[in-house]
Homo-oligomer: A and B are copies of this chain.
């Protein structure tokens, strides 16, 4: 792809094509037009992670075309928020795809990266597991080692103590919590590891589908915490991956 880009610029420099033609050629190169969505295979150059497809609003036919396009090119693939009934149809067509019903994720990962350092995912209760699972699969898809600690809530702070060494060894923590969402505050007071907080919609009443833990996390009086959208396991995994791989990236540049 990079060769193609260079060629266009050289042709322009040599006067073989006009500026307008060069501009057009450069702009159009990275797209493959499927009619309904411009898949960004080019993205692998600019961003070193696989393309992630947001499932809702796409018909099964559209998802089928997308999956076929990716599998043919042997590109890694993640499709988020796919209900079991739609997933079943896709998996029958493409046996190479995997599916997690809890995380509602379809994925195809051609090869595993050998990663150093690890991302730790901690959550307060079993009701948060769907988001934990989404974050875990995505983070592994992005080439990271992942460890998971379940059920270390703020209401049982003594359960947290034996996990402290592991929490401190992690390069970055994804902290998933519903209900009142106080776990990130607690962790941030105990470790000096960057924490990405994910509020979940687990709760009822004045939880308001995750607004309560969202506000808790934004107001954390313990520094070192930033927040992603409610139930956004994928987004947390993506950012955690950028952080976890930062050291190798920095030193490979040097």
Considering the chains assembled together, what is the distance between the CA atoms of A238 and B224 in angstroms?
Answer: 6
Find chain B residues with CB under 8 A from A211 CB. Answer: 206, 215
**Would you give the 0/1 interface string for A19-36, flagging 1 where the beta carbon is closer than 8 Å to chain B?**
100011001101100001
Q: What class of interface size applies to chain A in its complex with B?
A: 35 or more
Considering the chains assembled together, what is the distance between the CA atoms of A28 and B56 in angstroms?
Answer: 41
Q: Are A27 and B171 within 8 A (Cβ)? A: no
Interface residue? A228 (CB, 8 A): yes
Interface residue? A48 (CB, 8 A): yes
Majority-rule SS of A interface residues: mixed
Considering the chains assembled together, what is the distance between the CA atoms of A224 and B235 in angstroms?
Answer: 7
* 24 CB-based A-B contacts, threshold 8 Å: A36-B150, A48-B192, A49-B192, A54-B127, A57-B125, A57-B126, A57-B130, A154-B154, A154-B185, A155-B220, A179-B221, A180-B215, A180-B217, A182-B216, A194-B242, A204-B229, A205-B209, A205-B219, A206-B210, A215-B215, A218-B230, A223-B238, A223-B239, A243-B246
